[in-house]
Amino acid sequence: MRRALVNGPLFDGGSGRLQHGLAVLLAADRIEAVLPRGEVPGEVALVDVGGRVVMPGIIDSHAHFALWAFDPPGQDDATVAPLREATWDALGAVLQAGCVGVRDCGGLDVAFRDGLAAGRRPGPRIQTSLTIISPVNGIADGGRPAGALAPHLHTLPAPECTGPDEARAKVREVVAAGADFIKIGATGGVSSPRREPRQQLLTEAEMTAIVDEAHRLGRPVICHALGGPGLLAALRAGVDTIEHGVWLDDEAIAEMVRRGTWYVPTLSGYELHRRRGGPLQRGHAEAIVGSHRESVRRAHAAGVRIASGSDGGVYDHDFTLELELLAAAGLPAGEVIAAATSRAAECLGWAADMGAVVPGRRADLLIVDGDPTRDITVLRNPDNLRVMQAGVFLDE
């Protein structure tokens, strides 16, 4: 059945502003046309959105829905089944909150992605890296305080590799296990007592081998990097995306502009470490949030391509906090929403299919009570939203 959304301003995801007097014509799961209200064919059923804003659904370019898989309390079904149920629930909840696409940056196995794609449970469309390729004592190495390695869930390839040859072989293994993209950990983070945030973990030779092999296999490489020489080495190795980038110096920003490297800052991850972390994370994060915001401001001014990612799953799945923090870092509201819709779709390689209200894309849409281009916080309240996935409202 064809139907048209009428009587609401349109934020198409790309133009950065609201457009008036248009109708969004839907055919099955796709957007067929965006046309003046008066040109909607007579046989098309009209859906009056009552003056509310029509916009693309949110894409979260960095989240973790199954971090428990990196350090499960046990491998038996009785232990794992409730954890899997909680992950299904979290996936369903973010869809209800307006998130229609997620790049899971470590932990989520292919059964979730494929189950969602097949419609077996409600949730967003998923890309997953499965694991985070790292050296021994890297960020995905679940070393416990006494030094023993924590076992990963058997659904994930082990993350560790040493030297370019093993790194290349690890890429092949992770792709063979079903990963949509490769995630690597180039520097430390804020959660380990044994690694400094700026410490380089993978060598440039290892990262060059990873990028070469991944690109040969048609997979992008995204890179956890906070700053310092590891971040620069990752850029020189040709990674497609820098995740976090809390200390971007002039050299890094110039390199990102020159190469077209994407930047997914995950401001909210560190803000939540600062608010709610243990003493270790809080201490690091206190020292980070100011320079992080400044890195985003300078990168944006220089023209670095920015996509919105929450790092949700470390704490809550709250992708709206990231939008609010991007706005606080100086991005105009229209660009903030673009970073979480059309720009995110570009970053993830979904631009033919998602992220904008243009003909041919999936009808994954939000109907918003309030104007998010004036006040981004209207997206925080689910009472303000009606969510459509693949042409069907969740509540119809």
Give me the residues that bind Zn ion (CB under 5 A), please. 105, 311
Distances (CA, A) of 168 to 162, 174, 212: 10, 10, 8
Nearer to Zn ion, 107 or 391 (CB): 107
Nearer to Zn ion, 157 or 312 (CB): 312
Q: What is the CA radius of gyration of the chain?
A: 21
Which pair of structure tokens corresponds to residue 288?
A: 């980070």
Give the number of C-alpha atoms closer than 13 A to the C-alpha of residue 11, restricted to the C-beta side. Answer: 32
CB of residue 106 to Zn ion, shortest distance in Å: 6
* 3-state secondary structure at position 181: coil
Q: How far apart are CA 225 and CA 232, in angstroms?
A: 9
| Position closest to Zn ion via CB | 311
Nearer to Zn ion, 11 or 319 (CB): 319
Q: Which of 223, 230, 175, 153 is nearest to 197 (CA)?
A: 230
Name residue 263's amino acid.
Answer: Y
CB of residue 269 to Zn ion, shortest distance in Å: 7
Give 112-180 as a DSSP string: HHHHHHTTSS---EEEE--S-BB-TTSTT--B-TTSPBPPPPTTS---B--HHHHHHHHHHHHHHTT-S
Nearer to Zn ion, 107 or 157 (CB): 107
Which residues, in sequence order, are CB contacts of 87 under 8 Å at separation 6+?
65, 66, 68, 108, 112
Helix 204-216 vs helix 163-176: angle between axes, to the nearest 10 degrees?
A: 30
Nearer to Zn ion, 105 or 336 (CB): 105
CB of residue 64 to Zn ion, shortest distance in Å: 6
CB of residue 115 to Zn ion, shortest distance in Å: 22
CB of residue 183 to Zn ion, shortest distance in Å: 8
CB of residue 238 to Zn ion, shortest distance in Å: 21
Nearer to Zn ion, 223 or 248 (CB): 223
